[in-house]
Structure 1
Amino acid sequence: MDLRIQRSVVATLSNRPNAVECGPFVLGFDDSSDSPFINYATPVPGAEITADQVAALVTAFGDRKPRLEYVVSSAPTLEKLLVEAGFTVEARHEYLVCTPSTFAEPPAPAGFELFEPVSDDELTGMITVQSEAFGAIYTPNPAELGRQRRNQQRGGILVAARSADGHYAGGGAATVPSDGISEVAGIAVGERFRRRGLGGAITAAVTSRLFANGVDIAWLEASGEDSWRVYERVGFRPTGQRLYISR
Structure 2
Amino acid sequence: MRAVTPADHAPDRLLLDEIETYYDAVPRSAARTEDFGPLTLFVRDGAGWPYYARPALGHNGPAATAGDVRRVLDRQRELGVPEAFEWLAEQNPELRAAVEAAGLTVHEHPLLVLGPQDEAAPAPELPERVEVRVLAPDAPELAAAIAVPHLAFAEPGTAVGPAGTAELAESAATLTVDGTVERISHRITAGITVLAAALEDGTALCAGQHNPVGPVTEVAGVGTLPSARRRGLGLAVTAALVAHARANGVRTVFLSAADEDVARIYRRAGFRAFATALIAEPPAQQETGDQQKAAAPQEAAVQ
Distance (whole Å) between structure 2 residues aligned to residue 54 and residue 43 of structure 1:
10
Cα distance per residue 1:77-112 (max 9 Å; x no partner): 2122212222112x1122000136321122341311
Distance (whole Å) between structure 2 residues aligned to residue 21 and residue 212 of structure 1:
36
Distance (whole Å) between structure 2 residues aligned to residue 228 and residue 88 of structure 1:
22
Matched, 1:11 2:25: yes
Which residue is 1:171 aligned to?
207
Cα distance per residue 1:95-153 (max 9 Å; x no partner): 000136321122341311222232274221011111101239x9724432244234323
Which residue is 1:157 aligned to?
194
In the alignment, which of 108, 116, 119 is matched to residue 134 of structure 2?
A: 116
In the alignment, which of 30, 47, 61 is matched to residue 32 of structure 1?
A: 47
Q: What amino acid does structure 2 have at the position aligned with 1:229?
A: R
Query: Is residue 105–residue 204 contact of structure 1 (8 Å, CA) maintained in 2?
Result: yes
Q: What amino acid does structure 1 have at the position aligned with 2:226?
A: E
Query: Is residue 94–residue 238 contact of structure 1 (8 Å, CA) maintained in 2?
Result: yes
- The structure 1 segments of at least 4 consecutive aligned residues displaced by more than 4 Å after TM superposition are none
* 1:1-247 mapped onto 2 (5 Å cutoff): 1-15=15-29, 17-23=30-36, 24-30=38-44, 31-33=46-48, 35=49, 38-45=50-57, 47=59, 48=62, 49-61=64-76, 62-89=79-106, 91-99=107-115, 101-109=118-126, 110-117=128-135, 118-119=137-138, 121-135=140-154, 140-141=175-176, 142-155=178-191, 156-164=193-201, 166-178=202-214, 180-247=215-282
Distance (whole Å) between structure 2 residues aligned to residue 27 and residue 150 of structure 1:
25
Query: Is residue 87–residue 245 contact of structure 1 (8 Å, CA) maintained in 2?
Result: yes
Give the 3 Å change call, closer, same or farther, for CA 143–43 of structure 1 in structure 2: farther
Distance (whole Å) between structure 2 residues aligned to residue 226 and residue 52 of structure 1:
36
Unpaired runs of 5+ residues, structure 2, are 1-14, 156-170, 283-303
| Larger Rg, first or second structure (1 or 2) | 2
Distance (whole Å) between structure 1 residues aligned to residue 197 and residue 276 of structure 2:
29
Unpaired runs of 5+ residues, structure 1, are none
Distance (whole Å) between structure 1 residues aligned to residue 125 and residue 26 of structure 2:
30
Distance (whole Å) between structure 2 residues aligned to residue 197 and residue 53 of structure 1:
45
Cα-Cα RMSD: 2.3
Name the % identity.
29
Query: Is residue 45–residue 74 contact of structure 1 (8 Å, CA) maintained in 2?
Result: no
Distance (whole Å) between structure 1 residues aligned to residue 147 and residue 241 of structure 2:
18
Query: Is residue 133–residue 190 contact of structure 1 (8 Å, CA) maintained in 2?
Result: yes
How does the TM-score come out when normalised to structure 1? 0.86
CA deviation after TM superposition for structure 1 residue 67, in Å: 0.2
Give the 3 Å change call, closer, same or farther, for CA 76–225 of structure 1 in structure 2: closer
Query: Is residue 148–residue 224 contact of structure 2 (8 Å, CA) maintained in 1?
Result: yes
Report the secondary structure of 1:28's partner residue: strand
Which residue is 2:9 aligned to?
none
Distance (whole Å) between structure 2 residues aligned to residue 181 and residue 22 of structure 1:
25
Q: What amino acid does structure 2 have at the position aligned with 1:148?
A: I
Query: Is residue 123–residue 240 contact of structure 2 (8 Å, CA) maintained in 1?
Result: no
CA deviation after TM superposition for structure 1 residue 226, in Å: 4.3
Distance (whole Å) between structure 2 residues aligned to residue 52 and residue 147 of structure 1:
37
